[in-house]
Chains A and B, each alone.
Chain A
C-alpha cells in the first residue's frame, strides 16, 4: 500500500491515450483464440464478509475514496480478470436477508453509487470490464440507459450492467413513489411471495428491454456530418422506442448516441426459477450460486431449461458460478481467517458465515479445483467474491490466478478491445432498428 492508502497495481496503467489499444473501435472482429473460463471479481465494500471491515488490512474509512476503488480495480486488472462487478443497492448495504430498517452499528453502512464508481475508475484502467450493479425497481429506465451507454463511451467499450430488482418495501419508501410490501426470507422460501417476486422480475425484464431498445435507438452510423447539406445526423437512423409497460412508458430516442459496444454486457445474479428466466430472456451473463458439484449440475440444467422455456435464441447465456473466497494468505490458513471473521461478526455459535454463494476457505489450489470441476460441468466461468479487501483480492492475483493459468483456466493476456470481446460475445451488434 502507498502512503495515501491506495493500493498499487504491479503494472502501471497510466498511459498515453494515443497509443491505447482499447481506443480501437470496439465493434469488429476480435480474434478469439482458444477460450479460457471467464474469471470475474465481485467487489463489495470492505469485502463480502460482514466483519471484513474489522480486519487489520481493511480500510473502512476509505470506502468513499476514489483511490480505494481505483487501487482494487487496477489490482484486478493486473490479475487479467475479465471483469469486476461493483455491488450496489438502492438503499444502504445490508446482508442478503438482514432487516434493511435495522439500525446496526456493527456493519458497513455506506456505499457510493456503483455506476459512478465504475465511471471514476474507467480512465484509470484500460482492459478490464466494469460492471456496476444498477437497481431497476425505483430508477428511471431512461436515466439507466444513458448512464450505462455513457460508461461504455468513457471506458471505450468496457461497460456492463448487473441488473438488480429491489425486493424491499424499505427501499420503496426512499422514493415514496409507490408502496411495495416487504418480502422476508420466510415469505420468499415459503412461496408466499411468489406473485410479488414474479411481478418485480417482470418489471425488471421490462426495464432491461427498454434500456436495450434505447441503446439501439441510435443506429451506429446515425452521425453523418454531411457538410454539403449541413445535416449532422441522418434522422432516419434515430428512432423512437415507444415502450409501453404496466409500470412505465418510454418514448425515446435516447439522448446518448449508441454505445461503442452497441449493447453493453447485461448480467444478473439469480438464485431461483423466476430470476433464471429473467436472465434467460434479458441477459448475456448470469451469476448463479451453487453450493457444491451436485447443485452446480442441477442449477446449470435449470438455467438451460429456463432458456428453452423463454425461447432464447442466438448466443447461449453465459453461466458463471459465484464463489466467496477466504484464502490462505499472509501465513494464515483461510479456515483460520474465516473463524476469526465469524467470531467477530458475532454469528450464532457454530453457524459461521452463511451467504448466498458457496464459501470456500482454503488454498489457491482448492479454488482452482472448484473452477476446474465446474468448468467441466459446462460452466462458462467463475466470479470470485473476496471475503476481505484487499487481502483476498491480493491472494487472488498473486496465487489463484497464476494457479488457474498454470492449468489453462485463465487468460494469459487481454486479447480483445471490448468487454463483449473478452467474453467472446459477438462484437458486431447491429441495432434492431437498422434496415439491412
Chain B
C-alpha cells in the first residue's frame, strides 16, 4: 500500500454510470435488459445505493447519431429525458446523488435553474448538474434557437448560463420564506426577484423556487480543452474526465487542481472523477480472458469501421476490418460524415498518424486498432486486484474517485457492489454508511455562500 500508515485514507468518490447511446453495452447477451424501462434505472440506482455510491449519473445526447445521413443501428440507441428519470429515481432511493448531464447550449438558464432546483427539493438535496457544451448544428436543428454556436463561444455561453442560474438560485434567501399564517405573510418582499444583462442573456423577473436544500446543487463538468479546464476549475465542484490511465490522469489532476488554486479556490473542493469500467474474474487469467472477450464483443467489424469513420470523416465500409488501417487520408473539409457525437476529434491528421504508428508497431488490424482506441480504461482482475488498483489510483492522486459503468445493463454493477465494494470498505477507503444528508455533504463539499443582496440585482 502506498499510503504511509497513520495518514487518513482519501475517501473514494463513486458515481454509477448507466450507458446511454453507446457501443459498450453488450445488448445481445441474453441477460441484457431494457435501456428505457424504468426498472433498469431503478435497479442500477438501488444497486449503487447499496454500494454506498455518491451518485447516479446520466449522460446526454440531444440528437440520434447519424452516419452518412442515416441513424446508427448497431449500437444501443435511444435514451430518456434525464430530469424525469432522476426525479422518479428520487422516489426509490434515499441517499444517492442524482446527476443530470445537461447541455448549456441547448437550454435556457431560467428553465434549467428551475428544473435543477426542483430536483434538489424533490430529492431532499441530492441534485447535480453536469454541464456539457456540445454545440453542433446537427443537434441545433432540434431546437428553437436552432443553428449552433461557434466552438469558441460555447464556454462563454456556458459561463454566462451558470452565472444566471446561480443568481436565480440565490434570488431566495433561506429566511425569505416567512410563512406567517396569522399575519398573512408568505414571503419577504423582493424574494425571488432577479435581473441579468449580458452578451448572451438579457433576462429578469421572478423566480418561484425557494432556496435549494444544498444551497446550490452540485456542479459537474465534462470537457478537456484548455478552455474547458479553466471553466471547470473556476466553476465546478467535480469533473467527469476521460483519463483512465494513471499517468495521464495524474497529470490532468495536477493541472486542473492548480488551475482551481489559480482561481482562488481550495483545490480539495474540486473532485476529479475519470470514467472507468471493470471486468472481474475468479482468477487473474479468467478476468483477462473475459475482458478480452468483452472488448471484442463491443467492437464488431462494422462498429470498428464506424468508430474510425469518426476520425477519418469518410466512408470506410469498404475496408476489411481484419485488414490494415485505411490508406486514405482523413477528410478535413467535408461535412461531418458522422453527426451527433459528443466527442469530436479536433486534430484528425494527428490522431490518424498516432493510430497508424500504433497499428504498425503492434501489428494491429483495423478492428484491433478500434478496440484499443475505443475500449480502454478498464480495471480488470480479481476483486482484490481491482479494489487495490482503484484504491491506489486514488491514494496516489490519479483521481478522487470514479464514475463506473458496466458492459451489462442493468445488472452489471451488481458484481462490483457485491465483490469489490466490501474490499474498499475494509481498506477504509469507502464509507460503510452514508454520513451526510445531501450530496454535497457526502462529497465533502462546502455549501457555497449566497451572493449578498448587493450582488443579486433586484428587479424592482
CB distance from B7 to the nearest CB of A (A): 40
CB distance from A335 to the nearest CB of B (A): 22
Interface hits, B408-459 → A, CB 8 Å: none
- Is residue A110 within 8 Å, beta carbon to beta carbon, of the partner chain? yes
- A43-85 contact mask (Cβ, 8 Å, vs B): 1 or 0: 0000000010111101011001110001000000000000000
Q: Are A120 and B87 in contact (CB under 8 A)?
A: yes
Q: Please give me the residue from chain A that is nearest to B190 by CB atom.
A: A103
- Is residue B106 within 8 Å, beta carbon to beta carbon, of the partner chain? yes
Q: Are B83 and A123 in contact (CB under 8 A)?
A: no
- Is residue A290 within 8 Å, beta carbon to beta carbon, of the partner chain? no
- A213-256 contact mask (Cβ, 8 Å, vs B): 1 or 0: 00000100001010100111111001000000001111111011
In the docked arrangement, what's the CA distance between A231 and B70, Å? 13
- B68-94 contact mask (Cβ, 8 Å, vs A): 1 or 0: 001111111111110111011011100
Q: Please give me the residue from chain B that is nearest to A117 by CB atom.
A: B122
CB distance from B254 to the nearest CB of A (A): 37
- Is residue B214 within 8 Å, beta carbon to beta carbon, of the partner chain? no
- Is residue A154 within 8 Å, beta carbon to beta carbon, of the partner chain? yes
Q: Which of A170-178, A185-193, A268-276, A401-409 contacts B (4 or more CB under 8 A)?
A: A170-178
- Is residue A113 within 8 Å, beta carbon to beta carbon, of the partner chain? yes
In the docked arrangement, what's the CA distance between A235 and B90, Å? 33
- Is residue B144 within 8 Å, beta carbon to beta carbon, of the partner chain? yes
Q: A103-B460, A153-B80 are in contact. Are A238 and B71 (CB under 8 A)?
A: yes
CB distance from B95 to the nearest CB of A (A): 14
Contact among A154, A218, A238, A249 for B85, CB-based, below 8 A: A154
- A residues less than 8 Å from B36 (CB atoms): 153, 256-257
- Is residue B210 within 8 Å, beta carbon to beta carbon, of the partner chain? yes
Contact among A61, A70, A116, A238 for B118, CB-based, below 8 A: A116
- Is residue B354 within 8 Å, beta carbon to beta carbon, of the partner chain? no
- A residues less than 8 Å from B247 (CB atoms): none
Interface hits, B38-71 → A, CB 8 Å: 38-39, 41-42, 61-64, 70-71
Q: Are A109 and B192 in contact (CB under 8 A)?
A: yes
Residue among B73, B91, B179 facing the most chain A CB atoms (10 A cut-off):
B73
Residue among B84, B141, B177, B188 facing the most chain A CB atoms (10 A cut-off):
B84
- Is residue A183 within 8 Å, beta carbon to beta carbon, of the partner chain? no
- B residues less than 8 Å from A139 (CB atoms): 111
Q: A64-B209, A103-B460, A231-B74 are in contact. Are A120 and B144 (CB under 8 A)?
A: no
- Is residue A147 within 8 Å, beta carbon to beta carbon, of the partner chain? yes
Q: Are A105 and B189 in contact (CB under 8 A)?
A: yes
Residue among B70, B76, B184, B190 facing the most chain A CB atoms (10 A cut-off):
B184
- B residues less than 8 Å from A255 (CB atoms): 21, 61-64, 78-79
- B residues less than 8 Å from A155 (CB atoms): 88
Q: Are B71 and A235 in contact (CB under 8 A)?
A: yes
Residue among A119, A122, A149 facing the most chain B CB atoms (10 A cut-off):
A119
Residue among B42, B78, B108 facing the most chain A CB atoms (10 A cut-off):
B78
Q: Please give me the residue from chain A that is nearest to B83 by CB atom.
A: A116
A-B contact pairs, 16 of them (CB 8 A): A90-B110, A91-B208, A92-B206, A111-B209, A113-B118, A119-B88, A122-B91, A123-B92, A151-B84, A170-B205, A223-B78, A238-B64, A249-B146, A251-B141, A255-B79, A256-B79
Tell me the B residues contacting A by CB distance below 8 Å. 21, 27-28, 36-39, 41-42, 61-64, 70-81, 83-85, 87-88, 90-92, 106-108, 110-111, 114-115, 118-119, 121-124, 141-146, 177-179, 181-182, 184-193, 201-210, 300, 302-303, 460
